Amino acid sequence: MLERENRSIALPSGRPRSLLALLLMASGTPISRDRLIDELWGEHPPASAVSALHVHLSKLRELLGDLMVRDAAGYSMRTEGFELDCARFDALVTRARSEPAEARVLLREALGLVRGEPLCDVPAEGGVAQWRRALEEKCLQAQLLRIDADMAAGATGELVPELETLVSAHPFEERIWGQLMLALYRSGRQADALDAFARARRALASELGLEPGEQLLRLQTQMLQHELDGGTELLAAPEPVVATAELVAPASPEPPRRASNLPAAVTKLVGREPELAILQSLLTDADVRVVTLIGPGGVGKTRLAIELARRIEPDYRDGAVFVRLERLTDPALVAAEIASALGHRAGTDGPGADGLARYLRDLELLLVIDNFEHLLPAAVLVSELLELTPQIKVLVSSRTALRIRGERLLTVQPLELPTGGSDDEIVASPAVQLFVERARAAEAGLDLTPDSYRTIAAICEALDGLPLAIELAASRAHLLTLEDIHEQLSRPLVIGERSLRDLPDRHQTLRATIGWSYDLLSEAAQAVLRAAGVFIGGFTLAALEAVVGRMPADELAELQESSLVRRQADARRFEMLELVRAFAREKCQDAGESANVAARHRRYFAELAAPASAEFDIGVEVGLLSIRLRAEHANIRAAFDDAVANGDEESATMLALALRPLWIAGNLRQESIEFAERLLGRFSLSGPDELALLRIVAALEHGSGEWQRRFADRAAELGDSEALGVATAQLFAVAITARDREEMARLHPVLESLISDETSPRVLGWVYYSLFGEAYLDNRFEPAYENACLSVERARETGHSYMLVCALEARLLARSAMDRGITQPEVAEVFELACSYGVHSVVVAAIWFVARYAAAVDPESARRWLTLAERISTEFEAAPSLEEVLRAETMEVLGITDLGPLLAAAPPFDQATALDDVAAWVASRSPTEVAPRDPVLRP
């Protein structure tokens, strides 16, 4: 139940409730968008996961207000302003441990807070499942502490039913068996107490193959020898809230804590608090015995493992032991290396390799094993130790998972790069912070300006945020300027040469770091890695198969296990760090395979992209096509470059024409011009292909009209009347934008001549749209409205989505000017269609409609939407349109003469979230509401 200001708040069900649970469990630690998606949808999220997440967050924000926070690291809950029962539970148990006299009262109060299964209406997966298990373990331990306190206060037989229930639920918890034996013995039931010991022995032997531990054995001996008669020793114990083993008998002195052999940190750990929090949570879970940190070389696994061990070592009675495996080459020597590490700790006699399990049997220890990837056959040893040593936990760093039962994996990611381009966002980036710290260690007097930080951000981005790469680059700051270091990134694999002498050989250069992993691969996997280097921006299994020439599923799995390849957020795609890709390309070149690999890559993407070109020509929605192409944009560009360089006209043409939906959706004007110039300058295309290319470039170009005229001239030369009609409409649109009435007058008769039964509906739609614009400019709103309606009809007839959204915006512009009012249903229709189509220019126009509508009914929201439209327009170079008059009107109504201050004060924005907010605001308005509009035309 959620209560706020003394009133209950009904929470939404389903994923919003799961989302709230995740944020509360994080205790103020930000959770990234990607992790929230993983938690809510698992390994295979839907394509709409990002927008759905924003909707759920918006609902929670409405309920929680400022309790929910978003920053560069993700989403979180404030640590103040609310109280959780689980936090109060922890506080009461902590007090009970430190205040023995009040322990019974405090523990009963704590356990009274546990009412049924926690989060019973939230799916128990991922982080929620971990949290539940941790809470269940806490509750069990609190219950056992309370039983200890009751026994110390004189309780005996009345505890037996409760303890019998507990041993049934937890048959392998020796502490509970000891409490049951003691309760039975004290109540005069010695035979039953000894029978309980026999039952415990059978349970441990039959299920685990183990004998009872030393504490239970000692308790049995004391009962047989009647050394516990009356239990006076126990009643006199000075602290009632202690473990059962301490209540059993006068305990032998606790052995002195072993000295730590953890390596001392020589540098500060930067940007790893979220991972440390996750790891601490994992290792406090009673069900987790082994955690493996996996990730590419140089990502910081060892440093993270050492820092974690240093922080949690006090929680283990016998501390932590660090075992280095980097210099071993024989898996059979791993046991001896672990034994040696145990023996080198001060005050201990190390075991031999054969006696390792016996030595560890009664220890409570964290075993940290570093650099396991080249000794994987020895993973069986870790599994055996876990079975034979119930109080040992193992933390492993490896580029490859051990693949043993019970293993929990945490992939260590590169450090977070700047999420935006502002100075504050750059400075806050963990990757930048690491570079600055290491650079200042190398050059104490390093003077940094905002421009310096931007150069550092570029360096970190080129190095994939990989900590080792950043440290190696920063270590040259005493020899090179930041600009020089940035220049060296053209050869990133040699970064680090003659830099840090105290690094292991495998970390002396980035080439050596990646080469260490490469050398561990099978020959087949090495060949697949070399071929995969041709991909830019990731690849699918089908693409990799085409480039390799066979199905490489097993080799791809090997590359994933070695942390050289990883899955993208879309689980169907894979990617490599840019540094790994550079290594793979270098190896491919050395092997003489580059030309063949590039040719297969080029042919595959030409064939993959061809259907999008055909579908675009018949009017399939641009948004749908662009989504399919967006993931492969970089690969298609690279394939086009290769096709042009190798004179492959067919592939180059297919690739360029296939990108048209993406150019329209993203308003990629400059890229379309670049492709057209290179393609037409290199090859003589067929007439239809040339016109198709010129048409899209002309549609995107806004300004001089050069490409529109080129399109019109070529259409006239080829005698293509439909292309000429579209080109004329495009030239008219340029004239409208420029308010060039002379050009409009020249073209008007041509447009009028196109209105006939012989003209295709698609051309007629653009003709009517052009005539709408001319009439609107002349303040002739009724004919403007009539032409817009005719454009809508033709768009619906042809199924042309882009024409339809443009025509609907035109119709609303004209109708609202004619009737002096904007209605909520019209705005909602235009905004929804514009967002679903996804072209930035029409999205900006739709937001202008919302802002103009809001200016009359909600001025504060109008300022927000006006600012949003400006930011999208600036960021994506949205083309100017006649609807821009709404921007001027909105500013006039609001009394704004300069949007600069509003833009400067606006917080960082996520476009999908912002559009969700606009949609929610529009939906909140009454369908009968009409916002007055007095059109203000800016000639």
pLDDT digits over 897-921, tens only? 888 888 888 777 777 888 889 999 9
DSSP secondary structure letter of residue 69: E
Pairing of strands 2-4, 7-9: antiparallel
**Measured distance CA(169)–CA(863) in Å, rounded:** 61
Residue 362: phi, psi to the nearest 5? -110, 10
pLDDT greater at residue 363 or residue 491: 363
Q: For position 807, what pLDDT does the model report?
A: 92
Q: Which of 3-12, 360-369, 559-568, 680-689 shows the lowest mean pLDDT across its residues?
A: 3-12
- Calculate the dihedral angle through the C-alpha atoms of 647, 648, 654, 657, rounding to the nearest 10 degrees: 0
Q: What is the pLDDT, as a whole number, of residue 9? A: 61
Q: Are 365 and 392 in contact (CB under 8 A)?
A: yes
pLDDT of residue 242: 31
- Could you give phi then psi for residue 536, rounded to 5 degrees? -120, 125
Q: Provide the β-strand partners of residue 285.
A: none
pLDDT digits (tens, 9 = 90+) for 57-105: 777 777 777 777 777 667 777 766 667 777 788 888 888 888 888 888 8
Distance of CA 537 to the CA centre of its chain: 16
> Which of these ranges, 268-282, 327-341, 652-666, 713-727, has the smallest mean pLDDT?
327-341
User: Is residue 118 scored above 70 in pLDDT?
Assistant: no
pLDDT single digits (tens) 625-638: 777 788 888 899 99
H or E segment and range at residue 409: strand 407-411
User: Per DSSP, what are the bridge partners of residue 822?
Assistant: 931
Candidates 513, 519, 444, 412; CA nearest to 472 is 513
More confident residue, 289 or 881: 289
pLDDT over 70 percentage in the chain: 85
Mean pLDDT of the region 193-210 = 73
Q: Which of 397, 426, 412, 415 is nearest to 271 (CA)?
A: 415
Question: How far, in Å, CA of 211 to CA of 208, rounded?
Answer: 9
Q: Identify the pLDDT of residue 563.
A: 78
Whether residue 501 has pLDDT greater than 50 = no
Least confident of 114-118, 368-372, 440-444, 500-504: 500-504
b/e burial code for range 261-282 (CB count within 10 A of at least 16 → b): bbeeeeeebbbbebbbebbebb
Distance (Å, whole) CA 179 – CA 164: 10
Check pLDDT > 90 for residue 241: no
Q: Is the dihedral of CA 422, 425, 430, 436 positive or negative?
A: positive
The mean pLDDT of 491-520, rounded to a whole number, is: 62
CA terminus-to-terminus distance, the chain:
59
Does 271 score more than 50 pLDDT? yes
Whether this prediction's pTM lies above 0.75 is answered by: no
Position 150 confidence tier, pLDDT thresholds 50, 70, 90: confident
- Crossing angle of helices 430-442 and 467-474, in 10° steps, is 30
DSSP-derived pairing of the beta strands 539-540 and 573-575: antiparallel
879 vs 380 pLDDT, higher one: 380
- Residue 881 contacts residue 737 (beta carbons within 8 Å): yes
- Tokens 């709408």 belong to 772
Query: Residue 816's closest CA among 936, 733, 918?
Result: 936
**pLDDT on residue 246:** 29
pLDDT of residue 234: 33
* Beta bridge partner(s), residue 76: 69
Report pLDDT for 290: 94
The radius of gyration of the chain from alpha carbons, rounded to an integer in Å, stands at 35
